[in-house]
A and B are shown apart, each in its own frame.
Chain A
């Protein structure tokens, strides 16, 4: 328990330090001004969400291969944490876009593929509520999870493959792209902070899934008596 509290405290401290660095360490962007500071939170949360979906994808494949419940628990855990991250991305993006673009939303490739990603993983979670039998539920959701992950590389590539309203990539964007060195350090620190927060939430959510399994076992024992 003390380890979990310490982990949570470190995660929150890193996120707060990341926000401090975004506001007080990173220089103000020349054309957008202060509103660009949302980028440090928005983009780092998006990265953490996509990493979480990758772990979900690996857990789904492992479940299909090995059929062990722990991979199903990890899959649903990561899907939920990923949905929380992408929800934040879909909220903070329009708050940034309104003053910069003059519109809250546009159906360009990056925004649409991110919205589709959110819908796909919400469907993954809904699908689990529709199937009662645990093994069938785990297999169906693992298969759906593998399918849903196809959208993650599309989200990543959308601003590289097509011209979009969304800004071009500043990290891994090829020649001509890049960030001011201080901005880059602050951004990478925020990426680390959001990954630690996501890891903390994954641990907490995974333990919940373990307890659910214990309840199921005890209920089955009680019914068999």
Chain B
């Protein structure tokens, strides 16, 4: 197959973009969940 490197580059970079995007969602989500827990814990103490 000619241009095999280009084909693999296109697929791998494309999948890489989606993977990085998914990881960024997962990281932001886990940071926010930790923040929710922190805020819930700090709530009753201040009452």
Which residues of chain A are within 8 angstroms of B46 by Cβ–Cβ distance?
Answer: 222, 225
Point out the residue from B2, B3, B11, B35 that lies within 8 Å of A41, measured CB to CB.
B11
**Distance, CA A219 to CA B39, complexed state (A):** 7
Tell me whether chain A's interface is mostly helix, strand or loop, or mixed.
helix
Main secondary structure of the interface of B (DSSP, over half): helix
Chain B residues closer than 8 Å to A87, beta-carbon distance: 17
- Within residues 1 to 47 of chain B, which ones have a CB less than 8 A from any CB in chain A? 1-4, 6-7, 9-11, 13-15, 17-18, 21-22, 25-26, 28-29, 32-33, 35-36, 39-40, 42-43, 46-47
B21: chain A residues at CB < 8 Å are: 80-81, 84, 201
A98 touches B6 (CB 8 A): yes
Q: Which residues of B contact A (CB under 8 A)?
A: 1-4, 6-7, 9-11, 13-15, 17-18, 21-22, 25-26, 28-29, 32-33, 35-36, 39-40, 42-43, 46-47
- When distances are taken between beta carbons in the complex, the residues of chain B under 8 Å from A205 are 25
Closest 10 pairs (CB-CB, A-B): A218-B39, A34-B1, A35-B3, A95-B10, A92-B10, A211-B32, A88-B14, A84-B21, A38-B10, A208-B29
